[in-house]
Amino acid sequence: MIETWQQPLPHGITLSCRAAGERGRPVLMFLHGFPEAAFVWDELLLHFSQPEHGGYRCVAPNLRGYERSSQPADVAAYRPKQLVQDIAALIAIEGGPLACLVAHDWGGAVAWSLANRQPELTHKLAIVNSPHPGTFLRELQSNPRQQQASAYMNFLIRPDAEALLREDGYRRLFAMFSHGAPATWLTDDLKQRYREVWDASLTGGCNYYRASPLRPPRPEDPGAAGVTLPREMLTVDIPTLVLWAMEDVALPPDLIEGLGEYVSQLTLEKVPGATHWIVHERPAFVAERLAAFL
């Protein structure tokens, strides 16, 4: 059974959360990406909360800006420091260090940052198709393939992005799911769940892109070309699983080259035939690999 609630945080943000499993058990926390929401993890929440699969307390917040979580109007409120603060506060409320922080896409960006800044908050880290900031910056600065693959970011920062995304019943957003392979998993019921999330919170998701300079350079905007990240902001020294779907058209496999330079305890698993939406496509496989890591 999935429980849902609104969790106020000490710094004034509220996160809408989904969870399964008993409080007091070791905690797995799951962070979603764009244009998703916490419900994408429901199958894994139920799986890992069962005694035969570890009996974990499994928690999936909607990140700030999404669903019924707080939606600050200021774009600066979506910078990494603020996003990490939310998750750190939620971890404290759930009883301290996590057994593992599991994250996909933008959730992974938050998780990489938290693992670097406050590694004491989780024993392990599991990343699903979310680029490490060091390799992402490198590829955005120097690799035309990645610059082309990430060109959509410069669309999402437009002031009219939300209006354009809502056209024709969210045609552009649904097309994202089938970019690379047919989205046979995208049922009518699932489409309706996504519509409800987007009806409530599309600006918050776009603000993540507006707040970040990690995007392809343009003549009028240096983007990633104007960014320098010191190495101390990039290292991760806790056991880390990176599960990488190799058919991800937005995040090509070049992004996992050299990852071991930043992650000292890295387990990297490449998944042929899967796309960016592997959590939807192959949830049982994701659960099995995560269980092996745990």
> What is the rounded end-to-end Cα distance, in angstroms, of the chain?
23
- Residue 75: phi and psi, rounded to 5, are -60, -35
Contact call for residues 64 and 82 (beta carbons, < 8 A): yes
Q: Which residues pair with 269 in a beta bridge?
A: 243
Contacts of 96 by beta carbon, 8 Å cutoff, 6+ apart: none
Side chain identity at 189, as an amino acid letter?
D
Task: Give the count of alpha carbons within 13 A of 292, CB side only.
Answer: 11
d(CA 235, CA 213): 20
Query: Could you confirm whether 209 is annotated as catalytic?
Result: yes
Q: How far is CA 247 from CA 93, 108, 175, 271, 278, in A?
A: 37, 18, 16, 8, 10
Locus of tokens 């300079």: 213
**Residue of 104, 132, 276, 280 marked catalytic:** 276
Distance of CA 281 to the CA centre of its chain: 16
Side chain identity at 146, as an amino acid letter?
Q
Calculate ∠ Cα 123-293-281, nearest 5°.
115
**Residue of 56, 209, 248, 262 marked catalytic:** 209
Q: Which residues pair with 185 in a beta bridge?
A: none
Q: Which residue from 85, 35, 18 is spatially nearest to 205, judged by alpha carbons?
A: 35
Query: Could you confirm whether 56 is annotated as catalytic?
Result: no
**Residue of 104, 105, 208, 280 marked catalytic:** 105
What is the set of active-site residues? 105, 209, 276
